[in-house]
């Protein structure tokens, strides 16, 4: 349970940070929703890995292999996020800001499951 709470804490911090970047790109820099999303998630990748490795899962595995797994999981979860974003905006006509939030939920669910059971599977489970 503590591990899940740490994951949520990291997620909240990284999500707030990422959405600040996404919305700043969209509404201050005038970039498209899609490009803003790419930038926001790109910036959060390194922060997310370091916080999850050291705080959430307290991993002691070799970081080389772990980084490759983490990036793979990120790519899959991000792909699901981006596909959801496109569907919400282009197919369902949902507001771009609301679509970012909904697509983010898709990312969180996919990311946690894959990180827990694949990337950091041998880490401290509390």
| Structural domains in the chain (count) | 1
Identify whether the C-beta of residue 33 lies closer than 8 Å to the C-beta of residue 85. Answer: yes
Indicate whether 7 pLDDT > 90: no
Give the residue carrying structure tokens 């509390």: 126
What are the tokens at 119?
Answer: 């990337």
Q: Is 108 helix (H, G, I), strand (E, B) or coil?
A: helix
Indicate whether 123 pLDDT > 80: no
Domain assignment present for residue 85? The answer is yes
Domain assignment present for residue 125? The answer is no
Domain assignment present for residue 12? The answer is yes
Domain assignment present for residue 47? The answer is yes
Q: How confident is the model at residue 126 (pLDDT cuts 50, 70, 90)?
A: low
Domain assignment present for residue 42? The answer is yes
Domain assignment present for residue 126? The answer is no
What are the tokens at 76?
Answer: 């899959």
Q: Is 105 helix (H, G, I), strand (E, B) or coil?
A: helix
pLDDT, one tens digit per residue, over 66-121 is: 999 999 999 999 899 999 999 999 999 999 999 999 998 898 889 988 999 999 98
Residue-range definition of the domain harbouring residue 33: 2-119
Count of other CB atoms within 10 angstroms of residue 5: 11
Q: What is the pLDDT of residue 124?
A: 59
């Amino acid at each position: 349970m503590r591990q899940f709470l740490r994951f949520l804490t990291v997620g909240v911090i990284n999500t707030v940070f990422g959405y600040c970047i996404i919305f700043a790109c969209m509404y201050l820099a005038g970039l498209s929703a899609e490009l803003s999303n790419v930038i926001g998630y790109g910036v959060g990748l390194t922060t997310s890995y370091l916080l999850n490795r050291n705080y959430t899962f307290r991993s002691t595995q070799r970081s080389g292999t772990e980084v490759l797994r983490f990036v793979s999981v990120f790519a899959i979860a991000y792909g699901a996020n981006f596909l959801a974003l496109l569907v919400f905006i282009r197919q369902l006509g949902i507001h771009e800001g609301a679509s970012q939030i909904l697509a983010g939920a898709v990312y969180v669910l996919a990311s946690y499951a894959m990180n827990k059971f694949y990337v950091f599977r041998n880490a401290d489970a509390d």
